[in-house]
Amino acid sequence: MTVRSQPWQAELRAHWAVLNNRRTGDGVATSAVGLAVADDAEILVGVDARGDHHLLVPTDPGTLVAEDSQAAHIRIQRCTLLVGGQGHTFIDIVCHRPDLSELFDDILAAMLVELASATDQPPDVVCKRVLGEWRELLSRRGGLLGDEALRGLFGELIVLERILAANPDNDLTAWCGPDRQPHDFRLENGDLEVKTLGATGATVHIHGIEQLQPPACGALHLIVVRLLNAADGVTLPELVERLQTKIDDRRAFTATLARAGYSQIDADHYLDRRFIVGKTTALPVDANFPRIVPSSLTGALPVEISAFAYSLDLSLLLPLATLTDSAIEPLFAKGTLP
């Protein structure tokens, strides 16, 4: 099997644009992606008369294909197509819902990467395994985000975008909030905890006695992102799409988003809320910062208490903050100010 490393999502989008112009009232318009399986048989992509997208992996006519029809919108099936006037048998991975095209591209990209490296497994098994992994990932997303969770995720992604801009070589490992870590971001010299506020108000919710506990090595800053509702603002799906262009490992990004409760399948539900970022403030969390941490207690929390949360009024701290907007950039670059 030929191995080639490339940004598959961008290449797939280029193929779809060409094939959409070539499709007719019947049949499937196809083109080769530049990756071959056994016997140098080229993998194709195709667009049919309905506009559905296909990944077509060649297979022998007599070979059984591990089909997958658990979902009506993305399926793996066996098909025979005329290519160059001759019949050819393919493992056909097809998406029947245009609104899932971005997600489908991510799934196909993962399949192409695996097909290029998993030389010891039949291609149909590889494709079915990858689709199963994505299905399991999406099934764990736990429903739609509520308004507070949506705003919280939006604020974290705004901070992630600024961290990536300040650290071009930084990957997603800095973002640990979706993994239920005490702090949302862990950088080289310190941690960041992100909270969002609306146009008014100054109260944030603190979850657990460790959320405002600085790490053993380094500082902790509370990043407060004020989000304003605006008709010309950005939706959460648009922000996700913007970040996807800046992250090499889109599959890891999608997985992290899923752990945070976001799935592209639900993107339409978030298109009615648009935000612009108002003031962004960083508050150093030191010994004088108002908070409840383990040292605030005379002993450990009773075992009967399984969750601990409180509200923190920042109305006196925010007006006095010196780290705001562009002044925060060194913080994103280094994790703590010099």
* Mean pLDDT of successive 10-residue stretches along the chain, which has 338 residues: 55 92 85 85 91 93 82 85 82 87 86 84 90 74 81 96 84 86 89 95 92 91 97 95 86 84 84 95 95 82 75 95 90 63
Return the closest-CA partner of residue 13 out of 56, 47, 49, 50.
47
Which is it for the CA torsion 278, 242, 247, 269, positive or negative? positive
pLDDT given for residue 53 in this prediction: 94
pLDDT given for residue 156 in this prediction: 97
pLDDT given for residue 199 in this prediction: 92
pLDDT given for residue 334 in this prediction: 60
pLDDT given for residue 139 in this prediction: 63
Angular region, 218: left φ>0, alpha ψ -120 to 50, beta rest:
left
pLDDT given for residue 25 in this prediction: 76
pLDDT given for residue 253 in this prediction: 87
Let me know: does 204 contact 197? Beta carbons within 8 Å.
yes
pLDDT given for residue 306 in this prediction: 64
pLDDT given for residue 101 in this prediction: 83
Question: What pTM was estimated for this model as a whole?
Answer: 0.66
Q: How far apart are the first and last CA of the chain?
A: 51
For 151, phi then psi, to 5°, come to -65, -40
- Residue 118, judged by CB atoms within 10 A of its CB (0-12, 13-18, 19+), counts as middle
